[in-house]
Amino acid sequence: MMLPMADALSTPSRQALIALMIHVSEASNPDLHGRYGLTIKKADRDQLSDEKLITWRKGARQAIFHELTDKGWARAREELTAQPPAKTSPAWRLHYATLRNLDRLMRKLDYQLADVFAPDESVEDGIRRVYGEFAERSGDLVGLEKIRERLTGVSRADLDATLLDLNRRKQIHLDPDPNRRILTPEARAAAIRVGGEEMHLIAIGKL
């Protein structure tokens, strides 16, 4: 049996919720069409906005940008266990079966939507994010092994290239560890060579 709230939304509105959940951040109709082959039409936008599930604004060239509210995220979470809309194609029924399996896995692992759906992150963004997790304040020195340990999805070549580029542009500061005798094997392995010297530490911001 379909959830009551699911009945209240049109099929395109429910599809829009799922698309915005997957996209995570604010999305324009061209973004949504390019990635998922759908656009949010006025009637569905009005329905979602009236239910306070999304906010929207007009941007450059009159493009309309949409974003889920907290209530919208909660409603999108319900789609993981909802029945598919009536009279939908086999592809959509398979899609909702997949969502139900995702829901079971999330419950088993105690995951939230934020653990599953995250914005696309560049290597530079990843470096800055991990640095911020370990540095108490701007300019603190953090071991490069911390960066590498957390960015396991980035190849060493890509990470090194980004570190060297950021260092060249003076966006970060790379330093050798003055206490090399007590460096762990992980810290030694994480070093990057700059100007013929092994660098073990990174700082972002004023030293």
Query: Tens of pLDDT along 5-62?
Result: 445 899 999 999 999 999 888 888 888 888 899 999 999 999 999 999 999 988 766 7
* CATH T-level topology, domain 4-116: Arc Repressor Mutant, subunit A (1.10.10)
Output the pLDDT for position 24: 86
What dihedral do alpha carbons 56, 73, 152, 35 form, nearest 10°? -50
Output the pLDDT for position 194: 96
Block residue for tokens 């009005």: 46
- Is 39 in contact with 32 (CB distance < 8 Å)? yes
Output the pLDDT for position 117: 87
Give the Cα separation of 184 and 142 in Å (integer). Answer: 14
Is 105's pLDDT higher than 50? yes
Output the pLDDT for position 126: 87
Domain range summary for the chain, segments of one domain joined by +:
4-116, 123-203
Output the pLDDT for position 10: 92
pTM: 0.58
Query: Tens of pLDDT along 151-206?
Result: 888 899 999 999 999 999 999 999 999 988 899 999 999 999 999 999 999 999 86
As to burial, measured by CB atoms within 10 angstroms (0-12 exposed, 13-18 middle, 19+ buried), residue 87 is exposed
